[in-house]
Structure 1
Amino acid sequence: MFMRKVLGFALIGARAASAAAKPTLASKQYETLPLGQILPEGWLYDQLVVQTEGVAGHMHEFYDLVAKSDWIGGHSYYSYLEEAGSYWFNAMVPNSVLVKSSELYEKSLEFFHYVLDTQDESGWLGPEVGTDKPRYLWGRYPFFFGAIQLVEYDPSLEPRFVEAMHRFIRLANDMLRKGEGVEHWASTRWEDFALALQWMFDRHPDGKEELLIDTMQRLKWSGAPWEDIFSEELFPKEAVENLENPWDEDLFWHGVNLAEGMKALPATYRFTHNASDLEAASAGWDLMFRYHGRPSGAFNADELLSGLEANRGSELCLVVELMFSGSFLFQVSGDLKYADRVERVTYNALPATITADMWGRQYLQQQNQVAAKNMTPNPFPEDGPDSNIFGLEPNYPCCTVNFPQGWPKFVTNAFVTSADESSLTQVYIGPMSVNTILAGGNAVHVTVSTQYPFSDTVHISVVADKPFLYKMRIPGWVSDEGVRVDVDRDATYSVGDDTLEYTKGGARFLYLWLPAGASRIQVELPAEISIEERPHKSVAVHRGPLNYAFDIERTETILKSDPREARAVDLQYDAVADWEYAIDPTTLRFYMDEETELPAPIWDYGLAPVWMTVRACLIEWPLGGDTFAAHPPESPACVGEEREIVLSPYGTTKLRISEFPVFQSKGRNTGMAGDKQFPVHEL
């Protein structure tokens, strides 16, 4: 760690050398809106309701890690606050507001006040107060995220939180000076505290700017050296279980830590003002998905980084933390590749690893997943044989309390303003509404009506007091010729702007200069089928934001039921149909039923109004163990007649094949899709 210590001294020394200068933070390209100003509509609102009616909205009633387990001084004591309670609060604050659940909101408020009520004289927050339990910093960080959203929603709570935070920050700074409060997990997650400190600096510095910057620097000095971990020289290019680790900590290769760590370099940029930090963040992001990326948008890490194989796992916590980090990276840098990735993860990896009623979830999902049951042996070197069953807490409980942040924070980061708050930008596409006031008192109301990602059409209605610029992200998979825009009244528009440094990777903006009053815009984002080359000469299939998979027919077995809550069950899924298919990608055809009213839940077997057909045949494709698929065969031979199979959106599947061996069908020249060459999909 010598290199790390040198960096730490350099950071602190640089600040001391310029003590006369007022410390500043670099501006972000975009600013978020307060909680409650963006609301889900249509199927997205229905999805939040399903989550609220699932385990997320009920765990406070029965689940030991967040339910009332004791009473102290008349207040409910939430057990294991250093992790589970903070995760739960971080998710339930936005969840309760987005679905207008007074019960969940009151529970969140109760938790907020309990934490602040029990802050001790030193400034410490958490269950360690009044005990001899060791004090580590990181468990408080998700609480800070939830509290920030809460006080932005209800500003009357802000003074109390800000005062408590300043007290805690003084203590944390002193602990860091003494080398206290940082253990293995805290050393990798320091960036989360840095984001909370930056919120304080931007909004409530109260003359403590130097202390706030100094604390950010000391956190970075005490923590994982992300600029080195994400470097070309040291970043692992394959599954890590057989590699020599250059770090003292395996946790530097831990999937969830890496997903959270992606926020570290943009957070660092804000207090160093060094563009090289953003360049390093971008390079590290690209390395991750080049060597460990999945067609679902996530990356492979069944605990530790695990390469590109389709039978390895991605943790659910990784999925939601990647979504949050990607949003922050976009807001700081303006690079749309991060937003493209977040949307792909949200509409594929997130729903795929949770049951449709959202009462059960996996610890790990697989791109090729032919069973969800006890796997002995299993393909996950670091995780147990129950890692891919669906239930209350298979393998580890962290994902149960952490996954509910995914959908709410996708919504709360879906629209942003420019740094000067004069323009509004739609980052993510889905049915939502916005009520906000831009610079100059410009009250703006936006309604986005769409079935996207199950449709190519987006309707936008805007009412504004004054003219303003409305920007909409155009996903990177849309060709310049594909964007079709219809605007009414005096609105004008353009697509893309090559002078903007942050329009990279093919993604760009639709610029709409809207007049005062009401405007209506219709945007068509037609997509083409694209093919992604995967290991073993296999392919993945995409169209627009969706990855497609063969949805394997399954049986469901209840393994156990929680005695405290009958709906909380562990489920085993077994395939009851053939899955050993090779496909001919040249025969792919896409279908869309836009007249269908979307059901709730939508992410389940056969419910999506979009699908594909493809020519396929059964091949010899063995299991790699008793219950998981081996690698896709590289030169498959048909063992049966060709047939047409249906591919569904990945997120609707629970058992699936999504990385297919390839063969040449007889149907390619008989009226199917001919010899059409689909574009290669770059992730």
Structure 2
Amino acid sequence: MKRRKKFGSLVLSTFLAGLIPADAQHPPGTRAAATAYVAPVYKPLPLGAVKPQGWLKHQLEIMRDGTTGHLDEVYDKVKKDNGWLGGKGDGWEETPYWLDGAVPLAYLLDDKNLQEKVLRYINWTLQHQRTSGYFGPLTKSERENNIPVGVSNAADGEDWWPKMIMLKVLQQYYTATNDARVIPFMTKYFNYQLQTLKACPLGKWTEWAASRGSENIMIAQWLYSITKDKKLLELASLLESQAFTWSNWLGNRNWVIGAAARQNEQHWMRRHGVNVGMGLKSPALNYQRTGNKKYLQDLHTGFTDIMNLHGLPMGVFSADEDLHGNAPTQGTELCAIVESMFSLEEIIAITGDPAYMDALERMTFNALPTQTTDDYNNKQYFQIANQVHIKRGVFNFSLPFDRGMTNVLGMRSGYTCCLANMHQGWTKFASHLWYATAGNGLAALTYSPGEVTARVGKNNTQITIREVTAYPFEEQVVFNLDMPQPAAFPLELRIPAWCTEATVILNGEKLRTAGGGQLITVNRTWHNRDQLTLQLPMQVTTSNWGGNSRTIERGPIVYALKLGERWEKEQDAAEGDYFNVYPKGDWNYGIPEKVIQAPARYLQVTAVKPVTADFVWNLEHAPVTITTTGKKIEEWKVTEDVAPQPITDRHGLYKGKVNQQEDVITLVPYGCTKVRIVAFPVVK
């Protein structure tokens, strides 16, 4: 993220439709001011209750051994004289960004060395809160005048924004440890905010705090759920009144249409993809605080519109850095992906809506893994859906960057915010696989291998459920229960919208079937060694995306043309080592119309290798392939670094010159690719 100065279908349409009463209204003359707190449908479990296993655990171990576990050793901005340790170095967002992923990683893996490392920053923060409640690195004024920031001299403080991230870090740390220092620390800080925000509003120092006020609101409302201090709801309403009006913008279609039509300096912070990703949770938070269901409608309308106008096949919206339409040549910033994932995790808890669970899986299993190297030491600032090469260049980005480094794979590769922030994606996904339910039960809302330990039932019996699966590549999820005594509790399972009919099997006997796009509950007295199996048949389908392109899907995975990869290592004086990646083979294929009309007939699915514990998201480990035929479009070529989508007619067909020979082509999971075509033109 560049610190700029302040300036004065599609798929989701279907599975988000019809969720909220149309006649619900905002309270007249207010912006979420009324308070009628609504408890979340699902409660996130304490950090560490979920322990990833299999391929997901391996992914986290790679991160621990790579930059997530060692950023403070390899990145000078975090390494040298860090402001969050009392020094004069980084005192803004990048250290808290890193901790926002490193802290959950430390407790998910129960890694004592990493826990000790992150505790240095947590302890310094907790131990150096000012008497007034203000916290964070020493300010310029404090260093020069030796006067701590207080209520009377609040203007001597510094930007609210990085403190919002550190609050998220402390929240996660508290759920893992129950450290008694955290709740009083937050209470004191929020009292300070309540006393000073009118004199020093969110936008006083930068627009980043105003654009991301939902992060502050979220923690204030989380603390309210613990202490029941009504001043916290008062503070949340005040913060909302000073923050960007995301709920109104998401509910008012003029904003998202304007973002598609205009790419200029005017109101660019409203189009900034990372801001949008964070802002998605704002309507859900307003609903949580007020009970007004109109905010859920705002969320539904806005998310659907964003994905219709700016959505890309891998489940994210264009964000290069701004919202930039739905052409498959647009880019998406890595920060926008991980922040959108976290917003969806919060939205899921508050609303209990399975549509957002589907959206989270699509984003996680497709967009997230492709944007980093296998060792998690290099990343792209922007990925592209139809990415026919990775190289230096300007491409078609709204923020092209003067060194042309935003598309390459490097440790820095563009702005360094993503180097610090990329660590929360997998870690928070892993910690949010399971939630607690209102009936002292558990809910498995997204699926991956792991285990959860929690207390359930009226007697708070501690149990462990081991989730054994090769999902998202295979169709079966098995839950093995380990418990000291029988316990009655509800176990909720999500049936994805893409699944026509799921089957639930209990101890080898068919229990029930269920259609897609819903949550089901198995409420019974459970016994030790019970085994519940969820079968989710995956059919091959196609979906329609920008420029009348088509994407091939199976389950939560989208599939892209398999292209061999030629990697070239280069070096930049300012950014260090980086990689270009070029395709081995032709990429300019169209999909015959017959494949779109009868995908089950013309798309051949093959499980080529098992998903083992050492799985990595790359071509070598791709567990499933889909073969079909394609026709080469010789005139489809690279122009100004991108492959502009061939023009089609209103029937979605490319009418230009096409080779008549049909070649066999192979597709692999999008997340296993670096260069690819995922949005195909359709040919006769």
- TM normalised by structure 2 equals 0.86
The aligned counterpart of 2:59 is 47
CA distance in 2, matches of 1:442, 1:490: 26
Give the alignment of 1:376-525 within 5 angstroms: 376=394, 378-384=395-401, 385-420=404-439, 422-440=440-458, 441-464=460-483, 465=485, 466-480=487-501, 483-488=502-507, 495=514, 506-509=517-520, 511=522, 513-525=524-536
Can you list the C-alpha shifts for 1:609-664, whole angstroms capped at 9, x where unaligned?
10101101211244453422112343243236321010010000001100111223
Can you list the C-alpha shifts for 1:595-622, whole angstroms capped at 9, x where unaligned?
6252634201231110101101211244
The match for 1:170 among 161, 180, 191 is 191
| Secondary structure at the counterpart of residue 571 of structure 1 | strand
The aligned counterpart of 2:45 is 33
Between 1:302-311 and 1:230-239, the stretch displaced more is 230-239
The aligned counterpart of 1:121 is 131
**Cα offset for 1:575?**
2.4
**Cα offset for 1:81?**
3.1
The match for 2:586 among 570, 578, 593 is 578
1:252 partnered with 2:270: yes
Between 1:193-202 and 1:118-127, the stretch displaced more is 118-127
CA distance in 1, matches of 2:674, 2:410: 13
Summarize the Cα distance change of 1:70–1:186 in structure 2 as closer, same or farther, 3 Å threshold.
Answer: closer
CA distance in 2, matches of 1:112, 1:616: 55
Contact 1:540–1:547 (Cα < 8 Å) also in 2: yes
| Secondary structure at the counterpart of residue 108 of structure 1 | helix
Give the alignment of 1:514-663 within 5 angstroms: 514-560=525-571, 569-584=577-592, 585=595, 586=598, 588-593=602-607, 596-598=610-612, 600-623=614-637, 625-634=639-648, 635=654, 636-639=656-659, 641-663=661-683
2:473 partner amino acid: F
CA distance in 2, matches of 1:26, 1:592: 47
CA distance in 1, matches of 2:284, 2:194: 21
The aligned counterpart of 2:304 is 286
Can you list the C-alpha shifts for 1:257-313, whole angstroms capped at 9, x where unaligned?
011001111111122121111121121111111111111011112111111100001
Summarize the Cα distance change of 1:144–1:9 in structure 2 as closer, same or farther, 3 Å threshold.
Answer: farther
CA distance in 2, matches of 1:545, 1:8: 38
CA distance in 2, matches of 1:69, 1:357: 27
| Secondary structure at the counterpart of residue 214 of structure 1 | helix
| Secondary structure at the counterpart of residue 285 of structure 1 | helix
The aligned counterpart of 1:676 is none
**Cα offset for 1:386?**
1.6
**Cα offset for 1:171?**
1.5
CA distance in 2, matches of 1:492, 1:623: 53
The aligned counterpart of 1:106 is 116
Summarize the Cα distance change of 1:429–1:71 in structure 2 as closer, same or farther, 3 Å threshold.
Answer: closer
Summarize the Cα distance change of 1:259–1:14 in structure 2 as closer, same or farther, 3 Å threshold.
Answer: closer
Contact 2:475–2:536 (Cα < 8 Å) also in 1: yes
Contact 2:478–2:532 (Cα < 8 Å) also in 1: yes
CA distance in 2, matches of 1:198, 1:78: 32
Count of residue pairs the alignment pairs up: 629
Task: Give aligned-pair identity as a percent.
Answer: 26
The aligned counterpart of 2:81 is 69
CA distance in 2, matches of 1:537, 1:563: 40
CA distance in 2, matches of 1:427, 1:97: 21
Contact 1:492–1:513 (Cα < 8 Å) also in 2: no
The aligned counterpart of 1:499 is none
1:379 partner amino acid: N
Give the alignment of 1:200-349 within 5 angstroms: 200-205=223-228, 209-237=229-257, 240=260, 242=262, 249-349=267-367
5+ residue gaps, structure 2: 1-6, 8-25, 145-155, 649-653
Give the alignment of 1:146-165 within 5 angstroms: 146-155=169-178, 157=179, 159-165=180-186
CA distance in 1, matches of 2:466, 2:244: 42
**Cα offset for 1:476?**
0.6
| Secondary structure at the counterpart of residue 359 of structure 1 | coil
The aligned counterpart of 1:85 is 95
1:142 partner amino acid: I
Between 1:573-582 and 1:307-316, the stretch displaced more is 573-582
**Cα offset for 1:217?**
0.7
Contact 1:301–1:315 (Cα < 8 Å) also in 2: yes
Contact 1:454–1:608 (Cα < 8 Å) also in 2: no
| Secondary structure at the counterpart of residue 582 of structure 1 | strand
CA distance in 2, matches of 1:532, 1:71: 48
Between 1:313-322 and 1:434-443, the stretch displaced more is 434-443
| Secondary structure at the counterpart of residue 423 of structure 2 | helix
**Cα offset for 1:560?**
2.3
Summarize the Cα distance change of 1:241–1:399 in structure 2 as closer, same or farther, 3 Å threshold.
Answer: farther
**Cα offset for 1:82?**
2.3
Contact 1:588–1:612 (Cα < 8 Å) also in 2: no
CA distance in 1, matches of 2:94, 2:351: 31
Summarize the Cα distance change of 1:14–1:492 in structure 2 as closer, same or farther, 3 Å threshold.
Answer: same
CA distance in 1, matches of 2:679, 2:608: 27
Between 1:58-67 and 1:598-607, the stretch displaced more is 598-607
CA distance in 2, matches of 1:338, 1:569: 38
Can you list the C-alpha shifts for 1:323-361, whole angstroms capped at 9, x where unaligned?
111111111111110000001100000001111221111
**Cα offset for 1:510?**
5.4
RMSD: 2.7
CA distance in 2, matches of 1:42, 1:279: 38
**Cα offset for 1:131?**
4.0
| Secondary structure at the counterpart of residue 94 of structure 1 | helix
| Secondary structure at the counterpart of residue 639 of structure 1 | coil
| Secondary structure at the counterpart of residue 81 of structure 1 | coil
Summarize the Cα distance change of 1:70–1:648 in structure 2 as closer, same or farther, 3 Å threshold.
Answer: closer
| Secondary structure at the counterpart of residue 236 of structure 1 | helix
CA distance in 1, matches of 2:639, 2:508: 63
Contact 1:24–1:271 (Cα < 8 Å) also in 2: yes
**Cα offset for 1:166?**
1.6
2:257 partner amino acid: K
**Cα offset for 1:11?**
4.8
| Secondary structure at the counterpart of residue 372 of structure 1 | coil
**Cα offset for 1:426?**
0.0
CA distance in 1, matches of 2:218, 2:565: 44
Summarize the Cα distance change of 1:306–1:417 in structure 2 as closer, same or farther, 3 Å threshold.
Answer: same
5+ residue gaps, structure 1: 2-6, 16-22, 497-504, 665-683
Contact 1:48–1:408 (Cα < 8 Å) also in 2: yes
Can you list the C-alpha shifts for 1:405-451, whole angstroms capped at 9, x where unaligned?
0011001111011134x111001111010011124312221001111
The aligned counterpart of 1:373 is 391
CA distance in 2, matches of 1:122, 1:491: 61
- TM normalised by structure 1 equals 0.87
Contact 2:488–2:523 (Cα < 8 Å) also in 1: no
The aligned counterpart of 1:673 is none
